[in-house]
Each structure stands twice: as structure tokens, then as C-alpha cells.
Amino acid sequence: MPTVTFHVPALPPGTPAGTLFLTGSFRGWADDPSGWTFRVRDGRITLSAFFPAGALLDVKVRVQRPDGRSVEEGDAWGGRAPAHKVVVGADDQVAALRLRGWQDGQGAGRPGRARPPREEWTLAAPWGEQPVRVWWPEGLSPAGLPRLILHDGQNVFDEGPSFAGASWQAADAAQALADAGRPSLLVGLSVDGARVRRYMPFPIPMNSFQPGADEYLDWLTGPLLAELERRYGPLPAERRAMLGSSFGGVVTLYGGLRHPGVFGTLGVMSPSVWPDDHALLRWLPGRTAPGMRVWVDQGDHEGASLEDSQRLVREVRALAEQLRPAVREVRFQVGEGHWHDEAAWAARLPEFLAWWLGGLPPGGQA
């Protein structure tokens, strides 16, 4: 097997004292330094390990402090940082891990590069006050615009509140289409630590066998849609869409087919179809929405290896094929070189938006 040498070129200011070690997807993000400790020799900080060719690694550096607690690398503002990504080739290689800071649990002051929402408000929900983040194009009224609801709304606009300092840059993509004569209104629904419970409709260990997707979708199709119509005007179902990725892709597809007359278009990005032994695929037979258009996509670097990623692509392609007889239209895409992260979904979003808006009748008619 080839050797990967992980190299930390420099430690950022404020690096805590302790044991520097590597963790990542290949270790299940384990917090134990044993066997994965960096060593310092001749001023170089390195760690070498064998991996099979074709392995896809998400990795991060942590420090185990003398008190036994660990601190993970972060961004320059003390927030969470994206993982380093390594594709293991056939030959030995060096992977440089450039650290920008350490997490302090805050991330305060992280700037947003992309457009932020134009309005933010909350709406009562069974789980408490639900944040709602809304954007529409500059110079236009939001009334009557085609409406897209996005799950993981903390990640879709500006980077400031995002999970790891990366966003979908959704408003930037939508503004470009508005400038070309295809405006829309975007509604981002932020989510907290209850994400798996809210988005996964099946009982799995990650939601403590207490799925909350039905509760979430009842609120979304009831009080939320009513409030959106009160604020921004009524819309026919054909001009309403819903979009999500990963578990958000699951709740999008499940919700669209559970309420087949509510949305005209679904965006199902990188859906996690594996939970509960592919329960989503077993749930689908007999579910139809003859007027609905569905976008389904998957990156080709989303598994533990290139081979595993191709298996996932085949599974999601099969999902798309299973949907074809049940809906009006299915569009399936593979993101080349795309991992399971915000950068990949941001890259595919403009094409989804163009496909969605391009398929609507002109002149705002249903």
C-alpha cells in the first residue's frame, strides 16, 4: 500500500500544549491519539501511514491537552473548519495540512463572503422558535416569486453562521439567474443538533430511534407555508420547490412524496439512502406525484474510496430510475470530483436553479 505522509507546515498562534494527533473519517473521527501522533524531527511535523490506493480521506488535526481534553483545529476566528481532503494515489505522497487556528466554540467575527439573507425571523414550531432566513433579488418585490425552501438554512447563504465556514452561496447563484430574467425567493430553515431527528423519517441510532421528520414536515407544509403566503403572497404548488442535501435530501424526497400536491419541484442532493438498511428505497414503491419534477444528484467522491463512491453513485442512480414512473420528470446528475460537503452542493446549485426555474411556465402562471 502507498504511504501518505501528513505534514503540518506550521502551528498557528495559540496552539495549546499537548499531543498533536490526526483523526478523520477513516478513524470514525476517534479522539484517541494512540498510533496517530505527529512527531517533530528537524523542525518538521509529520505523520506517515499506509492507506489503500483510491482511499478518500477527510482528516483534521487535534491536540490532546494534559488534562485529557482535545481541541480540534479551526478557522482563524475560532470556529469549525472544513476537513482536509486527500485522495490516495498509487504512489507514496505528501499531504500538507495547513492549520489556521483552533476551535474555541465561538467562531465570532467570521466574515460572510456570499450574500446574506434579506430578512430573518422566527416562527413557532413544536420544537421551539424556528429561525427562517429569506432572500429575494435586488430591486424586485418578493410577492409572487417562485419559492424555494432549503433545509440546513444556516449553510445556504453567508458563511458567518455556517457549520464550517463554507456556504452554498445560494443568493449569489439566484441573483445571477434573476439578472438573466429568472428571479426566485429563497427560504432557508436553519437546524440545530436535532438535525438527524428532524430530517430522518426512519428510526436509527443517530436519532435515538425517534424520527421527527413527520412532525417537521407537518409544520413546514402547515404553519410555515401559511406564514410565507401571508408575508409574500399565495402561490400554486407548481411554483413551490424544496431542496436539501444528505439527510436534507432524504427529508426533501420523503416530504415531497408524502405531500404530493404541495410542491412542484424537489431538489434531492447527495441523499443518504443507507440508513435503516435503505429504508427510503423500501418506502418509495406506490408513492406517486404525477405533476412533480425531481432533481437527483450525487458526487463521485462521497464514499470511503473511489470504488465505494461509484457504488453510492449506482445506488442514487437506481433511486432516480425508481422515481421516473412515479413523477413527471427526473433529472439525474453526477458531480465529478465532488465530495459530500457544502462546496460540492454550492457547485451544483446554479444548475439546479436554472433547471427548476427554466421548467416553470412563463409569466408566473401555474
pLDDT range class, residue 320, cuts 50, 70, 90: very high
Under 8 Å between Cβ of 187 and 147: yes
CATH of domain 3-102: 2.60.40.10
The whole-number pLDDT of residue 104 equals 83
The whole-number pLDDT of residue 106 equals 59
How far is the C-alpha of 269 from the C-alpha of 293, rounded, in Å?
A: 14
Q: What is the mean pLDDT of residues 199-220?
A: 95
Beta strands 70-74 and 56-64 are antiparallel
Residue ranges, comma separated, of all CATH 2.60.40.10 domains in the chain are 3-102
Phi, psi of 205 (to 5 degrees): -55, -35
| Apex 273 CA angle, 272 and 278, nearest 5 | 145
How far is the C-alpha of 8 from the C-alpha of 213, rounded, in Å?
A: 42
Q: Does domain 119-364 have CATH number 3.40.50.1820?
A: yes
Judged against a pLDDT cut of 80, whether residue 191 lies above it is answered with yes
The whole-number pLDDT of residue 105 equals 67
Q: What is the mean pLDDT of residues 282-301?
A: 97
Residue ranges, comma separated, of all CATH 3.40.50.1820 domains in the chain are 119-364
Q: What is the mean pLDDT of residues 88-111?
A: 88
Q: What is the mean pLDDT of residues 28-50?
A: 96
Judged against a pLDDT cut of 70, whether residue 108 lies above it is answered with no
Task: Give strand pairing partners of 130.
Answer: 123
Residues 6+ apart with CB under 8 A from 170: 114, 135, 150, 156, 157, 186, 188, 346, 349
Judged against a pLDDT cut of 90, whether residue 112 lies above it is answered with no
Beta strands 56-64 and 19-24 are antiparallel
pLDDT range class, residue 75, cuts 50, 70, 90: very high
The whole-number pLDDT of residue 356 equals 98
Taking all residues of the chain, what is their mean pLDDT, rounded to a whole number?
Answer: 95
How far is the C-alpha of 350 from the C-alpha of 358, rounded, in Å?
A: 12
**pTM to 2 decimal places:** 0.94
Task: Give the single-character DSSP code of 110.
Answer: P
Under 8 Å between Cβ of 213 and 199: yes
The whole-number pLDDT of residue 366 equals 38
- Dihedral (Cα; 316, 333, 87, 159), 10-degree rounding: -100
* Residue % of the chain over a pLDDT of 70: 98
The whole-number pLDDT of residue 365 equals 40
